[in-house]
Amino acid sequence: MNRAAVVERARLDKPKRGPEQQVLPFSTIKTMIKTVTIPKDEYLRLKAIEEDMADLNSAADILARIKAGTEELIPSAVVDRLLAGDAPLMVWREHRGLSQAELARQSGVNRIQIIDIEAGRKTGSAATLKKLSTALHVDMDDLFEASDV
């Protein structure tokens, strides 16, 4: 038998493949080796566990920062006053146990300016608010009411 006849016979003897038996390219097979198929319920269960672990890791990070002293717990009374619309500068000053005169001394801001900002008559310049926020150990935006932001 010549070479062409052997190839033709092999082609004819080859079993026919339906769509469920088609030959996949090697790149697809290589990808499938790294793929796992699981029921949707199991996937959702595993996804929920992953989200729970992310939450636990976040909580652990916060607890570590609290223990290290780099994260501050704010009492609910302070939060309630801020949410009620009390002047943030006054709330933070009182929370820190400072008088207006003491805050003025620590921040280098005139006491009258502090009175005016707390009363809502003035807003204070960026430089003034920076000095006050530094003295109070808060971010500058903590000195703005939620409606101002």
Q: Is the confidence at residue 32, as pLDDT, over 80?
A: no
| Measured distance CA(63)–CA(15) in Å, rounded | 66
Give yes or no: residues 64 and 102 share one domain.
Answer: no
Spell out the residues 6+ positions from residue 142 whose beta carbon is closer than 8 angstroms to its own: 88, 92, 133, 136
**Is 122 among the domain residues?**
yes
Give yes or no: residues 58 and 99 share one domain.
Answer: no
Give yes or no: residues 81 and 132 share one domain.
Answer: yes
The residue assigned the tokens 């030959």 is 23
Give yes or no: residues 99 and 50 share one domain.
Answer: no
Task: Determine phi and psi for 104, rounding to 5 degrees.
Answer: -60, -45
**Is 14 among the domain residues?**
no
Q: What is the mean pLDDT of residues 101-125?
A: 94
pLDDT interval class at 35 (50, 70, 90): confident
Predicted pLDDT at 69: 87
Give yes or no: residues 83 and 113 share one domain.
Answer: yes
| Measured distance CA(22)–CA(4) in Å, rounded | 25
Q: Is the confidence at residue 21, as pLDDT, over 80?
A: no
Predicted pLDDT at 144: 85
Domain boundary among 49, 68, 87: 68
**Is 12 among the domain residues?**
no
| Measured distance CA(88)–CA(144) in Å, rounded | 6
pLDDT interval class at 61 (50, 70, 90): very high
| Measured distance CA(28)–CA(22) in Å, rounded | 12
Domain boundary among 14, 45, 68: 68
Please, are residues 78 and 91 in contact by the beta-carbon 8 Å criterion? yes
| pTM higher than the cut 0.95 | no
pLDDT interval class at 36 (50, 70, 90): confident
**Is 83 among the domain residues?**
yes
The structural domain count of the chain equals 2
The runs of H, that is alpha helices, within the chain are 3-13, 26-33, 40-68, 76-84, 88-95, 100-107, 111-119, 126-136
Q: What is the mean pLDDT of residues 23-32?
A: 66
Which residue range forms the structural domain that includes residue 51?
37-68
Predicted pLDDT at 45: 95
